[in-house]
Amino acid sequence: MSPDQPLPLPPVPAPYQLPFHYGALHNIGLDYLVDPDPVREVLAEHHPDLVAADFDGRACVSLNYQLYFAQYPNGGGITQEIEVNIVAHPAGAAGRLPALGYDQYARGFDQTKLLGIARIHVLCDNPLAIDAGTKLYAEPKYPGWFETTMPSLNGPAQHRTWSITCKQAGLTVDRTGIDRQDHTLFSFQADLTGLTPEPVNNTPITGYGTDPLGGLLAGPMNVYQPYQYHPLDDTNRARVRLTVADPASSVGRHLTDLLGNSLAAGVWTYQSAPVAAHNRPYYIPAKV
């Protein structure tokens, strides 16, 4: 096909339909500014049509944990997943991008949305979501499971710590369930107590995948309320701790090679607002 002709849309295989609507979303992301050389090598292997974003000579690796609910005609489902991403843009689009530093990118200044997330690993605890992400968005998605603690209106009011542990898993024999294994791959903790977040309009988030047949594709995700961005500096970077428990695993090797000794540069969070509340009961006097 001539480069001047419009490209056909990627197919949407049955039984899926798009867009996919989230009923609720709880999300935390960690951004790391890192040496660009290892990042370029990984991108060349996994997404050869993408170029790593350049933030004052540093590349950006992002970890993105999601807990989400979706309602279907016959019920509902809850999914957890975590992405290991590289912030990147299409190789031919450099001339369309504004010159940005990381702080500007994190605050949503790039409205071209060409700066997106190139997925390197996506670990997920829902076989249906694994299949859909692979077929629809060319995500490198595979089983994992999670132990989590996060802020909640149903928990202590002062609790603002996120703790996420990602563990190894496989699919059950019938491929309809997750076979959990007691083997930790990596974990992180972010204590946001006392930090004042900034509301930022940084969506839609462009997610990049590379289809072996169709090549590079982009799938935007809209979030309908602002994210909360927590900039970090030398006084508070220690609030975020990442531990690679299994550096020999594929995801552990990439985290070790890409992040090195880098500390987090920023944290962004989103938690869906409640839609209803079941209140405290009260006594009714007995009839005299």
Q: Evaluate whether 82 touches 164 at the Cβ level (below 8 Å).
A: yes
Could you give the number of structural domains in the chain? 1
The CATH number covering residue 123 comes to 2.40.400.10
Domain-embedded: residue 7: no
Provide the residue type at 184 as one letter.
Answer: T
CA-to-CA distance for 22 and 70, rounded, in angstroms? 5
Indicate if the pLDDT at residue 252 is higher than 70. yes
CA neighbours within 13 Å on the CB side: how many for 13? 8
Domain-embedded: residue 1: no
Amino acid 274: pLDDT: 94
Domain-embedded: residue 2: no
Domain-embedded: residue 287: no
CA-to-CA distance for 227 and 35, rounded, in angstroms? 27
Domain-embedded: residue 284: no
Q: Evaluate whether 119 touches 217 at the Cβ level (below 8 Å).
A: no
Domain-embedded: residue 13: no
Q: Cis check for the bond before 19: say yes or no (omega within 30 of 0).
A: yes
CA-to-CA distance for 140 and 5, rounded, in angstroms? 29
Residue 5 — very low, low, confident or very high, per pLDDT cuts 50/70/90? confident
Domain-embedded: residue 196: yes
Tell me what the mean pLDDT of segment 48-55 comes to: 97
Domain-embedded: residue 193: yes
This prediction's pTM: 0.95
3-state SS assignment for residue 235: coil
Residues in Cβ contact with 66 at an 8 Å cutoff, skipping those fewer than 6 apart = 25, 26, 27, 79, 80, 81, 82, 83
Domain interval for residue 205 = 24-271
Residue 158 — very low, low, confident or very high, per pLDDT cuts 50/70/90? confident
